[in-house]
Amino acid sequence: MALDGSLERLRREGRIVVVGASLAGLRAAETLREEGFTGTLTMIGDEPYEPYDRPPLSKQVLLGRVPADHTALPRRRAIEAQWRLGAAATGLDLSAKRVALADGTSVEYDRLLIATGVRSRPWPNELEAGLDGVFVLRTRDDATRLRHRLKAGPSRVLVIGAGFTGSEIASVCRERDLPVTVAERGPTPLSGALGSVIGDVAAQLHHQHGVDLRCGVMVTGLEGDGVGRLRRAHFSDGGTVDAEVAVVALGATRNTEWLAGSGLAAGPRGIACDAGCRAFDVRGIVADDVFVAGDVARSPHPLFGYRFLSLEHWGNAVAQAEVAAHNMICRGEERRPHLWTPYFWSAQFGVNIKSVGVPNMADQIIVSQGSLGEHRFTAAYGYQGRVIAAVTFDQAKWLEFYQRQIEQAAPFPPPFATVDRRTEGMRPVPAGFPDPSVPTHGPQVTVSGYSPTDQRVTFTPAGHGHHA
């Protein structure tokens, strides 16, 4: 009874603080109000803008079709929040229940939601990263700057990394008729996310659209001219390319530094939480009043062996925020698990790529509908005899069917006949994901020699020499 009374008081006049004012933070705030929270709601964001949508930035915004400031997210309802925009959170005191901000102030909470997301992994060499012409793409301001530079018509653009963002940027460059070189350390574009069978199709798209695609190489250095402008890039195979613009698209890093020393289990891989979005502390015990949602969260998914999934997906941010918000203001037995099946899309080279499930858990793949060669197909991924994921190229309408297959742990390869099954789809093949035991995200460094004067360090760039 006493507990019920305090929950009622929380719902009526409690203080909820949301750190992270992007998609997850906004949708959580709306859900809190929708479910009857009438207390004080504070939204903290490091960017000066109210919540905006990021996927358009690497597509219609970079193409020049839509201004970068035409991306503010519509509100599902009024949230009557106190906005603290442009003030990053810098610290968390769990025992005092207080968030410190960059402007020196602090905000106290009864319940906290952490939705600080990720940021672009910067080019590791700071001097080179500071050259005029070197960009990343994550925020609205990044998009505005890069778009301005692309509009000026650079002689060549170098895209470093052929994941989804890098491939979308390369696609925009070609549509703008700009010469573009893409450097990817893996054997194909998208191989980390979708495997090299699908990656080979992605490589065909690059080639077909005139991209100078170089796989199995790393960029080892960016060279500036006398006045600090980018002029040339050096590759691990000894080659070079002259470029006025380089876009670093090497993935993202989690915004968890502000939680260092807080006692939460937060680090470079995100913040671990349970399926109910409650944060783990460093002892592995869930906190009752600290919740996590969106790109920064890592939570166990029952469908995928209770593996802790870290999903930088638009749909995950929405679904997890809704579950977190619900669980923040309800009784224990009313809590819900976050059971969202991963869903993802990318538009590049005029093709709509979508996936469902967790492709990179798979060992095999089968083209169940359509044809790889036609760049229009559906492929199912298998893991230990069950369907674990699917990907479509311009066949989005079939994806929901495969979502059900994943959720029902349907057998792989699918035993049923499908529409438009071709001979290439009669037999599963290895999906071609990078061997997780081989480091691909950094160079291999070995030390040889015994006495201090003999010791040598050998630096082997990642991906170099591993691929055909």
Nearer to other proteins, 123 or 340 (CB): 340
Cα separation, 224 vs 129, whole angstroms: 10
Supply the minimum distance, in Å, between the C-beta of residue 104 and other proteins: 33
**Nearer residue to other proteins within complex by CB, 214 or 354:** 354
Which residues are bridge partners to 367 per DSSP? 379
Q: Return the CA Rg of the chain.
A: 24
Q: How far apart are CA 187 and CA 195, in angstroms?
A: 9
Binding site for other proteins (CB under 8 A): 53, 55-56, 59-60, 63, 65-66, 69-76, 314-315, 318, 343-345, 347, 349-352, 354, 376, 394-397
Which residue intervals of 209-281 are DSSP H helices? none
Contact between 361 and 349 (Cβ < 8 Å): no
Q: Give the C-alpha separation, 242 to 219, whole Å.
A: 12
Tell me whether residue 69 or residue 103 sits nearer to other proteins (CB atom).
69
Q: How far is the CB of 11 from other proteins (least distance, A)?
A: 24
Residue whose CB is less far from other proteins, 314 or 383: 314
**Smallest separation, CB 164 to other proteins (Å):** 13
C-beta of residue 191 within 8 angstroms of C-beta of residue 432: yes
Q: Give the H/E segment covering residue 231.
A: strand 230-235
Query: What does residue 231 show for φ and ψ, rounded to 5 degrees?
Result: -130, -30
Q: How far is the CB of 374 from other proteins (least distance, A)?
A: 11
- Decide: 179 and 241 in contact? Cβ < 8 Å: no
Structure tokens at 149: 């530079």
Taking the complex as a whole, the smallest distance from the CB of residue 183 to other proteins amounts, in Å, to 25
Given the complex with other proteins, which of 156 and 209 has the nearer CB atom? Answer: 209
Tell me how far, at minimum, the Cβ of 14 lies from other proteins, in Å. 27
Instruction: Report the DSSP beta bridge partners of residue 212.
Output: 181
Asked if residues 381 and 359 have their Cβ atoms less than 8 Å apart, the reply is yes
Find residue 380's DSSP bridge partners.
366, 390
CB 378, min distance to other proteins, A: 13
Of 256 and 355, the one with the shorter C-beta distance to other proteins is 355
Q: How far is the CB of 440 from other proteins (least distance, A)?
A: 28
Q: How far is 321 from 38, CA to CA, in rounded Å? A: 18
Identify whether the C-beta of residue 341 lies closer than 8 Å to the C-beta of residue 409: no
- Measured between alpha carbons, how far is 38 from 217 in angstroms, rounded to an integer? 55
Q: Which of 466, 393, 394, 397 is nearest to 432 (CA)?
A: 466
In the chain, the amino acid numbered 395 is Q
Measured CA to CA in angstroms, residue 92 lies from 16, 85, 263, 402 at distances of 14, 18, 9, 42
Of 85 and 351, the one with the shorter C-beta distance to other proteins is 351
Residue number with CB closer to other proteins (52 or 235) = 52
Choice between 319 and 366, CB closer to other proteins = 319
Q: Report, in Å, the least distance between residue 394 CB and other proteins.
A: 5
Question: To the nearest whole angstrom, how small is the minimum distance from the Cβ of residue 349 to other proteins?
Answer: 8
By C-beta, is 62 or 272 nearer to other proteins? 62
Cα–Cα distance for residue pair 229/276, rounded to 1 Å? 49
Q: Can you read off the two tokens belonging to residue 72?
A: 């503010």
Q: Tokens standing for 101?
A: 């901000």
